[in-house]
Every structure is written in C-alpha cells, then in structure tokens.
Amino acid sequence: MISVDTTLQPNQLRTKLQRFWAVSAQKIRLINEQYDPANGSPVFTVGGKYTTRGWTEWTQGFQFGSAILQFDATGEIEFLELGRRKTLELMAPHVSHTGVHDHGFNNVSTYGNLLRLMREGKTPHNDWEANFYELALKISGAVQASRWTTIVNGGAGDSAAGTPGGFIYSFNGPHSLFVDTIRSCRSLIVSYLLGHTFQGEGDKRINLLERAIGHIRATANFSVYYGNGRDSYDVWGRTAHESIFNVNDGQYRCPNSQQGYTGFSTWTRGLAWAMCGFAEELEALAIIPDDHLTGLGGRESLEAMMLKAARATCDFYLDNTPTDGIPYWDTGAPMLYKLGDYLSRPADPFNDHEPVDSSAAAIAAQGLLRLGHYLKQRPQQSQNSDSELVNAGEKYWQAGLSVLNALLDEPYLSLNSQHQGLLLHSIYHRPNGWDYIPDGSRIPYGESSMWGDYHLREVALYVQRIIDGGLYYTFF
C-alpha cells in the first residue's frame, strides 16, 4: 500500500515544480514544432515521438489544453496564444461530435480553461471572445447529454433505487456505461451553470443538471463496488471499467472491461477517473442552489452518495498501489504474482512481467487532493467539529502530495530533451497490445500519453496555485 508522507507540505514541492514547468514548456514546443495535426490527434508516444491511434478523437483537447495550463502556471504568453489559436482552428469538430463520451476531456480542457482564465482576470476580458467560449461549452454539454440511455436505478442504500435513471453511454453503444465518463459530467455541469436550455423533440426541455446527476448516480451504483456481495469480487472501492445494460428494459446485466484485464479486476486508470470525477463533482455540487437539487434527491442524499463513492475508490487506491503511489495497470493483471510482494515496495516500470501506468497516478493524485481538501473544509463550512472528516481529509491530502512528489522525479518525469512526452511509463491499451514495447523487453515502458501529460500538468497547477496563494482551481 502507499507509504504516505504525513509531513510533506505543498511548499516543499516548489523547486520540483519550477523544474517541472520548464520541462513542460520544452515538451509543448517540441510537439508543436514536430507533430503534424493532419495525422489526427496525438495519442501516445512510440520511441519518444507522439503518434495517433484511430479509435476515437478524445485527446486533442489535452494537447492544446496543456498549453493553456502552462500559461496559467507560468504567465508565458506564447502558450496562451498557442492554446487559443489551436482551439479556434481545430477544436470545433469536437464540440459537435455526437459519437464520443469525451466532451469533458476535449472541450472543458480548451474552451473551458480559456473562459475560466478570462473570468479569473488572468487574461483580458472581451465580450465576443467570452461569448464564443460560452457558446462552445453550452453546445458541448448538450451534445454530450444527448448520448442518453434510460435505466432502472439500483444500489443498496440509494434513495433512487428502483426509479428511472440513466447514463451517458460510451462509444461502444447504448448498452455501455464507462467509469471514465464521469469526467465528462463536467461538460453538462458547465453548460447548466452557463444557463443553457437543452431541447429535444417537440421542444421538450431536458434538464442538464438532472442528466449529470443521473450519470453520476449510475456510476456510483454500478461502476463502484462497496463490499456488499454483488459478486465474488466485490471489494470496497474497486471499480469495473464497463457496466453492461439491457437497453430493452434498462436492467443492469454485468461488469465488463475494455482496457482493463477483466470486468472482475480493477483497471487502475478507470479507478483514477472515478476518484477524480467524484471529488470534483462534489466541489461543483457545493455551488448549486438547494432548490435545484430538491427534485433530484436533495443535497444531503446526493452528497452522501458521491462522497461514499469518492472515499471508497480513494481507499481502494491507497490499499492496492505500491508504496510510491504508482500503480500497475490493473490490480488483477495475470503476471503480477511473478513480482512477489509488489505492494510492499515502489513500483518497477522496468520489470519483466506487467507494466505500471503512471497516467493513472497523475489522475489519482488530483482525486486524492481534491477529496482531502473537500473533507478538511466541511467542518469549517458547517461550523461543526468533525474530527473523523478532518483526519480522513488529511490522509487523502497527504497521499495526493506523496503521489505527486514521486511523479515529479525520475524515472517518471521525462528529462530527455528529444522525447516528446512529459510523463513516462504511461499505458494506453494493454489488452489490445497497442503500447510500444522496446527491443529486449517483454512489457511496454518508457512512453507517454497525451492524457497522462495533461493530467500531470493539471495536478501540478492545482498545487502550484495553493503554493502561490492563488484562486482554488476548479473546472467551473
């Protein structure tokens, strides 16, 4: 399990972050100079060079969003101009893309970050530019919400059990709920907060907040396990990558996995998406008026449901990750047993049996930090003393800092000036064999992914703002 440094403070990462942002700038320039966007969105590196992989177009927003985050952290205007120009030139197809579940990745990372910076006063305000970003975000949320499957809600203890619900279905089709899609609830929440009216047949109004909450509830009920005996592998906090439904009657059928080993093991990047997604949606819930939540279950019930899922997934990560906080790609990967007691020592990305996935660590670190901050703030906001919440919040917070601390060093931070990636030892799709395996190795290692690089920048910015005393960083 993770060895948490209980004494580590954000300010102690200042020097590492200064080096990090310098390396990050060099990587952004390198990709901009060398990668041809006519080849499609860059996805992952092969031999240190970014290449594409035709499946869905879900990573381009991370490329240009990275430049925007770089400006946010350093104030270097070249990166703002790059991110703004490329968003204008290339991101419009992602706004209207009806075939993916990834709007919260592509469009909140670009249009969303640009609008956020303007509203924070970090870029000059311009009504037309702000309106352009707002329109893109409004439409993106509506397009994402249109990928809707109606189901029967379930889950022990859920006040909505047995009532109609639904989820944003994955690119696999209407039967498929992906755990990672919880981060695309951001696009619905942003569109709702911007006051967008989403309409369907006969001008019927569709409540974007209702659909976001519906998807969050479905993810909590079906993608996350709580040790209640759903199957033989029901362990507190484990996740299934995919949940399968019968679209004829809306009934849940079984767990499954696309990028993990099986539906009965835990793909660690999917686990990390859940950790981060539930934590950031809890933060968003706090600014939504009570009367908007009344018909959706009410604040108390919704917060309890989301907090349970956030804590369960974070607990599972803490207990099932090597001591340095970097997980192997799946907790049930078939050759892990050959590594012996691998949870009692740091992860080994150069082993002969199973790859680690550093991108899962980058995503998980942000989830741990956000949940920790949320729990530590709750007693203050309610003016009640709750030592259990504060202690739990401190545990998650320190764990998040510990994971980030490991990622900001070699062998994970890419210091080779010719390697286009920023975060090394990321894994894309182990079952399909898409990841590059170096000569002489049995497993993939040493490569980067666009989502891994982006999310390391995102969690670095989160901590950087805390160090600098800046505004607390949220997607909304």
Owner of token pair 């755990």? 179
> By the 8 A CB rule, do 342 and 256 touch?
no
Domain-located, residue 115:
yes
Which of 13, 11, 33 is CA-nearest to residue 403? 13
- pLDDT, one tens digit per residue, over 185-199 is 999 999 999 999 999
> For position 406, which CATH number holds?
1.50.10.10
Q: What is the pTM of this model?
A: 0.97
Domain-located, residue 473:
no
Q: For residue 472, which phi and psi values (nearest 5 degrees)?
A: -65, 130
H/E segment holding residue 80: helix 77-90
Q: According to the model, what pLDDT value does residue 172 have? A: 94
- pLDDT, one tens digit per residue, over 304-327 is 999 999 999 999 999 999 999 999
The phi-psi region of residue 321 (left if phi > 0; otherwise alpha if psi is between -120 and 50; otherwise beta) is: beta
Domain hosting 257: range is 10-468
Q: What percent of the chain has pLDDT over 90?
A: 92
Domain-located, residue 1:
no
Tokens encoding 77 = 């205007």
Angstrom distance (rounded) from CA 47 to CA 64:
22
Peptide bond into 411 cis (omega under 30): yes
At residue 446, the 3 state secondary structure works out as coil
H/E segment holding residue 68: helix 60-74
Domain-located, residue 69:
yes
> By the 8 A CB rule, do 231 and 240 touch?
no
Taking every pair of C-alpha atoms in the chain, what is the biggest distance, in angstroms? Answer: 62
Other beta carbons within 10 Å of 22: 10
HSE, side-chain direction, 13 A CA sphere, residue 82: 23
Q: What residue spans of 219-257 are helical by DSSP H?
A: none
Domain-located, residue 2:
no
Name the CA dihedral angle for 212, 213, 216, 222, rounded to a multiple of 10 degrees: -120
DSSP, res 472: P
Tokens encoding 30 = 């390198």
Q: How many residues does the chain have?
A: 476
The phi-psi region of residue 31 (left if phi > 0; otherwise alpha if psi is between -120 and 50; otherwise beta) is: alpha
Tell how many helices (H) and how many strands (E) occur in the chain.
15, 9
H/E segment holding residue 118: helix 113-119
Angstrom distance (rounded) from CA 100 to CA 197:
21
CA distances from 453 to 71, 292, 356 (A): 15, 36, 15
Domain-located, residue 5:
no
Other beta carbons within 10 Å of 173: 10
Counted domains in the chain: 1
Angstrom distance (rounded) from CA 66 to CA 452:
11
Pairing of strands 49-51, 44-46: antiparallel
Domain-located, residue 119:
yes
HSE, side-chain direction, 13 A CA sphere, residue 151: 30
Domain-located, residue 304:
yes
Show the low-confidence residues of the chain (pLDDT under 70).
155-159, 162-163, 380-385
Pairing of strands 148-152, 49-51: unpaired
Angle in degrees, 0-180, between the axes of helices 60-74 and 77-90, rounded to the nearest 10: 160
